[in-house]
Structures are given as structure tokens and as C-alpha cells.
Structure 1
């Protein structure tokens, strides 16, 4: 009986020890990793997103040592572009790669991103970045930073332009970002969704379009376009936004890591896009497009029109923040 009791006791100790070891070593990685969903305003295979978004995702995985795991669920095919800003606000998705062109009607102050003459790191130093973060806070978001690098807009045409006045009366494919600019130079803005631009050009429904340097050649639009006016205007307005509740749930260290790695990413994007833009100019010329340059007088006139039109719009749509934003950017 004593021998039997001893064996039972020994088995109990062994089983107890196994249970203790299993509990301490079998930590659930789901409890140690924060999994977040990311959406982009453009499809996953678009020239602006296919390389850039993964670069940021990899940077996050590396610099947080896997503490944050990101899933890029897609672009408009997953959540319509015009609904993505609200989706981040409401927590339907955690992080959005978006542009203010698609949420400026909700947050008009975001259009000031276009008007900044500064590099992203300069905006972090002069107070603009912090001021914008205070505005995004009202929409339950944290503004991590920019993501499109140097990417201004251009006007592309099928009419040879000798001067700024030659744009008068032309039908130019537009979007809300530069409707007012086209109106100010007496051109006719025509809203056409990107998927219909090629056909609109081919059938002469429009005489040209507005768009950044990257995209038109990749989308085939240069096949039905003859000229690009080498007069870049407005700053890029790509933003990385994270739901505030999600951000607040992260440790202070992870919050700081996200902000700091995005600041580094902004500098990488400038170098990246400078190189890509240089290559794109060559591709555009090889596609047969001719570059048009405005005279010094017309160039100055056009840039002044862009600046005043946009600041006037800001004054009307965001009167409470107009003065401070202009003080921060119009130096």
C-alpha cells in the first residue's frame, strides 16, 4: 500500500509539473502581436501603391520586431475610395493610405497639404505636422505622415500650347483638386473617372487631363495624348492615417516607433520618387509625348493663380483655421 501510494504521489507531481511547464512556455502569439488591417485608395497593382505600401508594411514589421502585424486588405475593391476616410474614423479598418482629394469635403483643412512648400521633415519641425495632427484628432485619427514623395500635378493635352491663354476653352479631365484652377484659367473642367480617361481622350471628349507624372503612361493614356506641360503644381497630399483608438491601445514605445519610422519613410520616399520621376520622364518621351514649357511670365502667373485660388478656397471652407495654416505654410 505504501509503495502504491508513493507511485500515485509521484505521478501527481509529474503531471502537476507538466501542467506548469505547459502554461509558462506556451504563450499565445496572438496576445503578443497586434494585428491591424490596412486599406489604400488605389488598387494593389497601381504604380503608386504596389511597391510603396509594402515598403512601409515591411518597415513596421521590422522595426516593431513583429509586435505589429499588418494585413493589406486591398484598395477600392475592398472598401470604396470615397468611404475609406470614414472607415478609418469608425474603426472598420485600422490604417488608411489615402489622399485629401477624396476626403477634403469632410475635412477641408486637409487641402492645405497641397499648399505646403516644405519637405515632410521640415513640416515636422515648423509646427505644421503637429497642427494637422490636432485637426485629424477631431476625426478620431492620428496622422502618421506623408507617403507619396515629390508628386505634383501636371496638365497633359492633345493641343499644342504656346501660352497659358491657349488653355482657355479646352475641356480638361479634372477632379475636385483642380476644378477651381482650371476654371480660373478659363479652361473647362470635366469630371471623368480614371477608368474612362482613355476612351474620353480617344474619342476627343476631352482635350487633355490633369494628373501627376506617374500613372498615365502605365495606364496607357499616353497612347492617346500628345503633350505634357512641364509646369508642376501643388504638393502631393498622400497621408497615412491610423484610427486613434487603435493607436491609443498601443504601448508608448510602439506609438513612438510608428511615428519615427514614418518620419524616416518620408525621407526614403523623397529619394525614391525623385529617382522614379526621372525614369518616368524618359519613358514618357519614349512614348512620343512632347514636353511644353511655359514662358517665365506665364509660369509665374500660373503659380500665383494656383496659390491664390487654393488659399481663397481654404478661407471659405475652413475659416477657423485659415489664418494659422497660412502662417505655417505661406512663409
Structure 2
């Protein structure tokens, strides 16, 4: 009898030890977003996190801490660099104070799937590791071109006399179009439009309804330019501490996240139709002018990048810019 009791107790102890070991191997990563919780980016991310945690029990978990109410957007990059948080949903324009090269990713004309094949992904991480103490994990948003939204009709790409609200993403491009640029937080744009403080703004194809800007917007200029880049970045020491099973699981889920990026193509189409229904008219230039307009955006963008970081800009351009058949960059 005593033997059976001892055997049962030993079995329980072994099970408890195994469960404890499994639990000890599980790790939770803290994630913060530079974007609001009520926006499309975070909604999309949270669905992924739910699946991540369900399938990653005993291996890896993500604790979503929140958005801008948790941490100001322009502090998120430094929080990742210093390890205050492990992972962030962020865009390059928001952490140029930590890594100026982060803003170069908006100039990509190839998909993240292609970047993983042509060496761009590795090139990005060489810079992010060395200069930012970060690992670039995945690009969650693509196929989201920026546009110029204005309240005065134009027939050519000339913004002389117009006041345009900008972010660093398109400052130089709009200045090249002779605009008077004004920087304001997104929360102040609605009032600025309402009071005529600005005549327009730059923004991706999606998202203006989240801010109610459609109420004060008359025109959208086509074509779009650049590509809104929203990605997951991770503190490098935290990334290196992952075990092989944890790393394999993380990479599996990151690739699954990127595989969903066709969603953003549909979303862009839906938002374009939604804008038209809301009364926002489209300004389209003739074919030659439209081609020059878009080309100028990239010329200005790469020229600005070259001034900031010549070697990195040259390497990134060879990997991220659209290659013209019969030419080499």
C-alpha cells in the first residue's frame, strides 16, 4: 500500500515538474502600438495576437499593452531600442529620432515577400541591428499609397500659395511642389481644415474616416505615391534571448501575418469607393503629367535619403526600387 502511495506521489511530482518546466519555457513579450486601438491597423493586429496566443501556449505569448494612451507614438521607437517594451507596431516615420533610415522603407516598390527573397530583408536588419538595437520582424501593412487631399481644385501638380499639413513622410515632396508646409498633430487637422488654417494634407488611402476628415475634404489627387509602411520591430537583446522553439514559432506566425497582406489591397479599393460615396472628388492629371508627378515623389524621396545616409540609401534603392527592364541601378 505504501509503495502504491509513494508511486502515485512520485507520478504527481513528475507531472508537476514537467508542467513547471513547460511553463518556465513559455515567455511573454510586451507589445505596444504607435497607432490608436480603434484604428484598422490595431484591429488587424489584435486578431493576429489572439491566434498567436491560442497556438503558442507553453511556448510564446504576447501581452498587448495598448496604443498612444499607453505611450506617445514618437517615444515608441526608443522604448523598443532600450528594452522598455519588447515589440512595437510602428512606422518608420515615427522613429527617425532613433533610426533615420527607418523612413526609407516608405519608398519600397516591391512587396515584403519579394524583399525576403532579394536580400532586402537582411539588408534592413543589418542596419536595424547595428544602429537601432532592433530586429525588423515583419511588415504588416503594404499596398497603401499616400495621397494629397486638398480643398482647392488644381489642374497640375503645383501647390503654390497653398498651406498643406505634412508629416516628415512627404515634407520634401510637397515642398518641391511649392507648398507652404505646416506640421500639426493628427488630432488638430480637423479643426485646421475647418478654420482654413490648411488647404489640405497628405495621408494614406485609408484612415481618414477614423478621424472624420472626410467631412472637411473636397478632393483627392491621383495617383498615389510611396507606400504606408507599418511593421513590427523588436528589441534586439530580447530577440536574441528567444529559444530555438520560440524563434521558430515567432517566425512561423510572422510569415502568416505577412501572408494576409492582400487584405490591404482590398481595403484600399474599399476606401477609394467609400471616399467617392462621401463626396470626395478625384483629381486626375493627364497620363504624362501623372507619370512625372509620381516619379518626382520618388526622386525627391531617394535624394533626401541619400543626404541622410548615402551608403544605406544606395543599397536600399537597389533592392527596394522598382527595376526598369534593361537597366541597372
After TM superposition, the score normalised by the length of structure 2 is 0.90
- Kept in 2, the 8 Å contact 1:171–1:187? The answer is yes
Q: Separation in 1 of the partners of 2:320 and 2:208? A: 30
Counterpart CA distance in 2 for 1:87 and 1:19 is: 47
Aligned-CA RMSD value: 1.9
Give the CA deviation at 1:272. Answer: 0.9
CA contact (8 A) 1:88 1:241 kept: yes
1:1-35 deviations in Å (ceiling 9; x for gaps): xxxxxxxxx66x56654543332122236413211
The correspondence for 2:140, drawn from 139, 142, 147, is 147
Contact 2:78 2:98 in 1 (8 A): no
Question: Could you give the per-residue CA deviations for residues 188-241 of structure 1, whole angstroms, max 9, x where no partner exists?
Answer: 111011111110000000001110111112321111111111221102221111
**2:220 aligns to what SS in structure 1?**
strand
Instruction: Tell me the distance in 1 between the aligned counterparts of 2:97 and 2:28.
Output: 30
**Residues 203, 66 of structure 1: alpha-carbon distance in 2 compared, 3 angstrom cutoff:** farther
Deviation at 1:86, TM superposition (A): 1.3
8 A contact 1:152–1:234 mirrored in 2: yes
The reply to whether residue 33 of structure 1 matches residue 26 of structure 2 is: yes
Q: List runs of 5+ in structure 1 lacking aligned partners.
A: 1-9
* Counterparts of residues 82-161 of structure 1 (less than 5 Å): 82-138=74-130, 139-161=132-154
Deviation, structure 1 residue 39:
0.5
Q: Residue in 2 aligned with 1:24?
A: 14
2:238 pairs with 1:242: no
Greater C-alpha radius of gyration:
1
Match of 2:327 in 1: none
Do the aligned residues in 2 keep the contact of 1:48 with 1:214 (CA within 8 Å)? no
Alignment match, 2:315: 324
Distance in 2, Cα, partners of 1:66 & 1:289: 50
Give, in whole Å, the separation in 2 of the partners of 1:87 and 1:118.
Answer: 29
Q: Figure out how many residues of one structure are paired with residues of the other and give that number.
A: 318
- Distance in 2 (CA, whole Å) between partners of 1:213 and 1:44 is 19
- TM-score of the superposition, structure 1-length normalised? 0.90
**Is the 1:109–1:321 contact (alpha carbons within 8 Å) kept by the matching residues of 2?**
yes
> Which residue of 250, 259, 263 corresponds with 1:267?
259
**Change in CA separation of 1:58 and 1:230 when aligned onto 2, cut-off 3 Å:** same
Partner of 1:195, secondary structure, is: helix
